[in-house]
Copies of this chain bind each other. A is one copy, B any other.
């Protein structure tokens, strides 16, 4: 119904980390995997152009910080900023889901009472 840019909080968050690679990057860097070539090796399916682009965007939006070392061959290290840390609960929720994805019906409580579910999420 409303189309104002900041009306949907999920959209706001997606504008920061809503891409195929950003949450994974945030996760990897939070684990200490913080150099270009190591990230490239440890993230399946990404290539250097995409990694470069995503890192630049994350740096630009102040989620990651880039530090270069004047060595040969050059070394670059990425780290998570305060803003990046504030986004970690999202990444952690993803991690938690991924550690126990909803494949099997999760046989816990039979729920009884005709599968009522109305209130759901607010």
Contacts and interface: CB of A to CB of B under 8 A. Distances in A.
The majority secondary structure among interface residues of chain A is: helix
Contacts of A18: 20, 23
Interface in A1-31: 1-5, 8-14, 16, 18-20, 23-24, 27, 30-31
**Oligomer copy total:** 2
A83 B97 CA distance: 11
Given A10-B27, A30-B121, A97 B102 contact: no
Interface string A10-54: 111110101110011001001100000010011110000000000
Interface of A: 1-5, 8-14, 16, 18-20, 23-24, 27, 30-31, 38, 41-44, 80, 82-83, 85-99, 101-102, 105-106, 120-121
